[in-house]
Amino acid sequence: MAVYRSVGTIRLSKTGDPLLRKALFMPAMVAWQRNPAVRAFCERLKANGKNGKAVVCAAMRKLVHIAFGVLKSGKPFNPKLALA
């Protein structure tokens, strides 16, 4: 089976709100290092061959999902529950 790789730089999608993307980039980087739920998610993506920018973008989306879940449920974030 042949493996095809693209040559060039990886870019994030420019669709969506650029201010929200800008606001979530550093929190996603910190969550990748410090949040156990996001860290496990990012490590799995890296193990599957995703590059760093794609992993950070996925972490940003994960943070948005966590924030909406906390707002909707009214309960504090529980990383042990998120790992399940």
Question: In this predicted model, what pLDDT tens digit does every residue of 4-20 receive, in sequence order?
Answer: 566 667 677 788 899 99
In a domain, 10, yes or no: no
Distances (CA, A) of 5 to 12, 71, 74: 17, 40, 44
Classify residue 65: in a domain, yes or no: yes
Question: Residue 8 domain-assigned?
Answer: no
**Residue 82 phi, psi (nearest 5):** -70, -30
Task: Tell whether 32 is covered by a domain.
Answer: yes
Q: Please give the model's pTM, rounded to 2 decimal places.
A: 0.80
Structural domain containing residue 57: 18-83
Q: Do the domain assignments include residue 5?
A: no
In a domain, 4, yes or no: no
- pLDDT tens-digit series, residues 29-44: 999 999 999 999 999 9
Q: How many domains does the chain have?
A: 1
Tell me, yes or no, whether 78 lies in a domain: yes
pLDDT number for residue 6: 62
